Chain A
Amino acid sequence: KIKHDIPELEQLESGPWPSFVADAKRYALRRRKLGQDNLLINQDVVEDLLGQVELSYVHGETHWKHGGIVGVIGYGGGVIGRYSDVPEQFPGVAHFHTIRVAQVPSKFYDTDFLRGLCDLWEYRGSGLLNMHGSTGDIILLGTFTDQLEPIFQELAQVLDVDLGGSGSNLRTPECCVGKARCQYALYDTQEMCYEMTMHYQDELHRPAFPYKFKFKFDGCPNGCVASIARADLSFIGTWRDDIRIDQDAVQGYINGEFPPGGGSHKGRDWGKFDIYEEVINRCPTGCMSLEGGKLVIDNANCTRCMHCINTMPRALKPGKDTGVSLLFGAKAPILEGAQMSVLVIPFMKAEPPYDNIKEIIDKTFEWWMEEGKNRERLGETIQRVGLQRFCDVLGVPPAPQMVKEPRSNPYIFWKEEDVPGGFKRDINDYRSRHAR
């Protein structure tokens, strides 16, 4: 039995889905068993957290306050200060600061590291954590101010890992599973994510941006890390040659030898696979046909949505001339509404040391730091001053790929240099042709 009555929370122990309440209660008892001598943070921290959350359920209101703590010495991010607004009732969570720890790209771990992290966090923190937060960091939830430095140095010197980003800086970059376990990875997402993270360490730890900035690396247009919805700079793998077709395997799908969609729809009887119904007629550009039993793709009209490839993964593969598309400016709704990233650079090669891409990033940072207002995401700056200006800064010529459709209003802001003779006019010259 734990310290506080938590009847509301205990309603969450039943049901098949893993119960965080059952987990926390079990862990609360372990801390009691360990005893205060083996713990640097209040041994009751978990029980007090459960007590406070219970109270929050009763009130329908959170009981946390924010604090301005931002990090360890020299860093402007990686720690979020948090304080309880009912500390007398729940002293174990009076301070409950978060530490963001940089995740391994695409979140693979060996157990030695995880066990080391568990031991460190049990001893110096609450033992409560997130695997992982929304941006991708490992989030250690709940410690006191005096443990921030010791934890950071233990992480860096022993576990060989750094803090993640928070505040007005580059946030911890994130990538999909990539070449580690996916045949669709059109560039090396881990390698590029790691390289960019290392190259921009100063931007990650020492904030001087107008607001947050996120890189996310999707290996293909399926977009498994959601870069297009949430990264200021989304890297999405693409190709520019032809889809590779294995005609024998196409026949295999037609004959029912392979499950369509890599088996994604096995749970329901959708009837026999019909290549017209499921692939050819679903192609958004209508660029596929079956001629003499052979699948034909008009690649010049393909927009690489990947439906055909996803549906017949053994028969169709992306092309071999691969690279990245660069899209800029995604953000969540505050303030002017959510935005998705805008396609600015349709294709670039993405190979180490990525100098071509770093050059684009540097120009972006420089321009946004100059042009962006306080608390303005890149996408809002682009929205405010226009995509043309941004493209101009990057040195990217305008291209029809950047728009869904051309503008429907004709209010073009012609510049003086666009118009023969410029804007300086002589009224007398005009009057020589027109009476007053």
Chain B
Amino acid sequence: MEELKKAIVEFCESGKTKTKFYFKDIEKAVKDKVPGAKTLQIKKACSALINEGVLIYYSTGSTTMYGLKGKGITEDH
């Protein structure tokens, strides 16, 4: 779990101008970094990071993305 969380945060920090990411893109990056990681585990790690306040959801109403709290457009914008 901790390894997955670390990989997720690292990926989200790596964006130069991008601050919001689709789950699929996170999933792909994490699977590259942590071989054998399962989709469901990655989702659970994302949910845990949300609960810890590290990640936030960002949604258009129809599509949802993940981003690091405080980076780019935020809820308070």
**Residue ranges of A at the interface with B (Cβ–Cβ < 8 Å):** 66-71, 73-77, 80-81, 145, 166-169, 206-212, 366, 369-370, 372-375
23 A-B Cβ contacts within 8 A?
A: A66-B61, A68-B60, A68-B77, A73-B51, A76-B50, A77-B64, A80-B59, A145-B76, A166-B61, A167-B59, A167-B61, A167-B63, A168-B23, A206-B47, A206-B50, A207-B23, A207-B59, A207-B64, A208-B39, A209-B23, A211-B62, A370-B39, A374-B24
Docked pose: A373 CA to B25 CA in angstroms: 10
B58 interface contact, C-beta 8 A = yes
What string of 1s and 0s marks CB contacts (under 8 Å) between B15-57 and chain A? 0000000111100000000000001000100110011000001
Q: Which of A167, A169, A210, A212 has the most CB of B within 10 A?
A: A167
Interface of chain A: mostly helix, strand, loop or mixed: loop
Docked pose: A216 CA to B27 CA in angstroms: 29
User: Smallest Cβ distance from A250 to chain B, in angstroms?
Assistant: 50
B2 interface contact, C-beta 8 A = no
B1 interface contact, C-beta 8 A = no
Q: Are B64 and A169 in contact (CB under 8 A)?
A: yes
Docked pose: A372 CA to B27 CA in angstroms: 13
Q: Which residues of the partner chain A approach B75 to less than 8 Å between Cβ atoms?
A: 68-70, 81, 145
Q: Which residues of the partner chain A approach B23 to less than 8 Å between Cβ atoms?
A: 168, 207-210
Q: Which residues of the partner chain B approach A209 to less than 8 Å between Cβ atoms?
A: 23
Q: Which residues of the partner chain A approach B62 to less than 8 Å between Cβ atoms?
A: 166-168, 211-212
In the complex, what residue of chain A is closest to B46 when comparing beta carbons? A208
Of B51, B57, B76, which one neighbours A207 at CB under 8 angstroms?
B57
In the complex, what residue of chain A is closest to B39 when comparing beta carbons? A369
Q: Which residues of the partner chain B approach A366 to less than 8 Å between Cβ atoms?
A: 39
Q: Would you list the 5 A-B pairs with minimal beta carbon distance, nearest first?
A: A167-B64, A70-B59, A207-B64, A76-B57, A167-B59
Q: Which residues of the partner chain B approach A372 to less than 8 Å between Cβ atoms?
A: 24
Q: Which of A68, A77, A212 has the most CB of B within 10 A?
A: A68
Q: Which residues of the partner chain B approach A76 to less than 8 Å between Cβ atoms?
A: 50, 57, 59, 64
Q: Which residues of the partner chain A approach B25 to less than 8 Å between Cβ atoms?
A: 374
A169-B64, A211-B62, A369-B39 are known; give 11 further A-B pairs, CB within 8 A.
A66-B60, A68-B77, A76-B50, A167-B61, A206-B47, A207-B64, A209-B23, A210-B22, A369-B24, A374-B24, A374-B63
In the complex, what residue of chain B is closest to A148 when comparing beta carbons? B75
User: Smallest Cβ distance from A68 to chain B, in angstroms?
Assistant: 4
Whether A74 touches B22, Cβ cut-off 8 Å, given contacts A68-B73, A68-B75, A80-B61, is: no
Whether A74 touches B47, Cβ cut-off 8 Å, given contacts A168-B64, A207-B64, A374-B22, is: yes
User: Smallest Cβ distance from B10 to chain A, in angstroms?
Assistant: 19
Docked pose: A369 CA to B75 CA in angstroms: 26
User: Smallest Cβ distance from B61 to chain A, in angstroms?
Assistant: 5
User: Smallest Cβ distance from B26 to chain A, in angstroms?
Assistant: 9
Whether A68 touches B50, Cβ cut-off 8 Å, given contacts A76-B64, A210-B24, A370-B39, is: no
Q: Which residues of the partner chain B approach A71 to less than 8 Å between Cβ atoms?
A: 57, 59
User: Smallest Cβ distance from B32 to chain A, in angstroms?
Assistant: 15
Q: Are B50 and A74 in contact (CB under 8 A)?
A: yes
In the complex, what residue of chain B is closest to A71 when comparing beta carbons? B57
Q: Which residues of the partner chain A approach B47 to less than 8 Å between Cβ atoms?
A: 74, 206
In the complex, what residue of chain B is closest to A82 when comparing beta carbons? B61
Docked pose: A66 CA to B75 CA in angstroms: 11
